[in-house]
Homo-oligomer: A and B are copies of this chain.
Amino acid sequence: MTGIHQLGRFSAHRVAADDGDELRFCSTCVFGRVCLPKEVDKSALVELHCLVDHVGPFQAGDHIFRAGDRFNSIYAVRRGMIKTRLHDESGREQVLGFHLAGEMIGLNAIHPAKYPCDAIALDEAEVCRFSFPALATLALRMPGVQRELFNLLSKDIGNAIAFAGDYSADERLAAFLIGLSRRFSERGFPADTLHLAMSRGDIANYLRLAAETVSRVLRRFQDHGLIAVDGRDVSISKPADLFAIAKPVLQR
């Protein structure tokens, strides 16, 4: 799919912004914070806002972008959950991450100038598309935007190495749940009740475990009273105990 076809496709999906106006960003938006400092330049802010497209909604299974697509934009998740994954020609899949509202995807596409991975909606989702060339140009005039981009990129390197160590299945799962819980609560969702939009298989793949192991560990956590599992809904009963297990992974 070429860049032009992509544009056409997204235009068809476009919906009106349901929050954020000409000078205010979505409440969840990562770029919201560039509005805060005193350095705010109204005209530049309008420009920043103008280079954003709200696209979607996507249904579960829809691709936001595909590995190999020419890179032109980075995306902020606006609603729903997105997974990024790469899969080689022999069919092996590797889930790279799950992205919640307010988080950015596509940053790892800047260098090779094409997306290295697929981005797939896990439930009904909407995203904001930022033209990266436009953003980079704007960053030349707005130090806050540049700083924010550097921060986002740098943070992503850190995220990528989160599960790099050789941790046990228990540590991985606990860290996965605690991490999700934190991110949910940062976005205003309750920290103790999680909805896992992804399948057990996706979780397993992300954590480099077998799906059976994920089932078994969740079961054991439940038997020990750490969590309560109901299908894809998980409630965390003993966050402190769960954190104690996750600690080696989280405190890098």
Integer count of this chain's copies in the complex: 2
In the bound complex, do residue A109 and residue B154 qualify as a contact, i.e. CB atoms below 8 Å apart?
Answer: yes
Binary CB contact string for chain A from 125 to 153 against chain B (1 if under 8 A, 0 otherwise):
00000000000110111010011011111
Write the nearest CB–CB distance from A176 to chain B, whole angstroms.
14
Question: Which chain B residue lies CB-closest to A206?
Answer: B164
Is residue A107 contacting chain B, with contact meaning CB distance below 8 A?
Answer: yes
In A159-186, the 8 Å CB interface with B consists of 160-161, 163-166
Q: A153-B153, A154-B109 are in contact. Are A86 and B252 (CB under 8 A)?
A: yes
Is residue A90 contacting chain B, with contact meaning CB distance below 8 A?
Answer: yes
In the bound complex, do residue A150 and residue B110 qualify as a contact, i.e. CB atoms below 8 Å apart?
Answer: yes
Write the nearest CB–CB distance from A211 to chain B, whole angstroms.
13
Report the bound CA distance from A141 to B152 in whole Å. Answer: 21
The interface residues of chain B lying within 8 Å CB-to-CB of A153 are: 107, 110, 150, 153-154, 157
Q: A149-B150, A153-B153 are in contact. Are A116 and B251 (CB under 8 A)?
A: no
Instruction: Give the secondary structure class of A's interface.
Output: helix
Q: How large is the interface on A (under 10, 10 to 19, 20 to 34, 35 or more residues)?
A: 35 or more
Is residue A155 contacting chain B, with contact meaning CB distance below 8 A?
Answer: yes
Write the nearest CB–CB distance from A10 to chain B, whole angstroms.
22
Write the nearest CB–CB distance from A37 to chain B, whole angstroms.
15
Write the nearest CB–CB distance from A233 to chain B, whole angstroms.
28
In the bound complex, do residue A89 and residue B154 qualify as a contact, i.e. CB atoms below 8 Å apart?
Answer: no
Is residue A94 contacting chain B, with contact meaning CB distance below 8 A?
Answer: yes
The interface residues of chain B lying within 8 Å CB-to-CB of A90 are: 248
Write the nearest CB–CB distance from A146 to chain B, whole angstroms.
7
The interface residues of chain B lying within 8 Å CB-to-CB of A152 are: 111
In A26-81, the 8 Å CB interface with B consists of none
In the bound complex, do residue A136 and residue B150 qualify as a contact, i.e. CB atoms below 8 Å apart?
Answer: yes
- Give the residue among A147, A149, A153, A156 with the most B Cβ atoms within 10 A: A153
The 7 A-B pairs of least Cβ separation, nearest first, read A110-B154, A160-B160, A153-B153, A111-B154, A108-B157, A111-B155, A166-B208
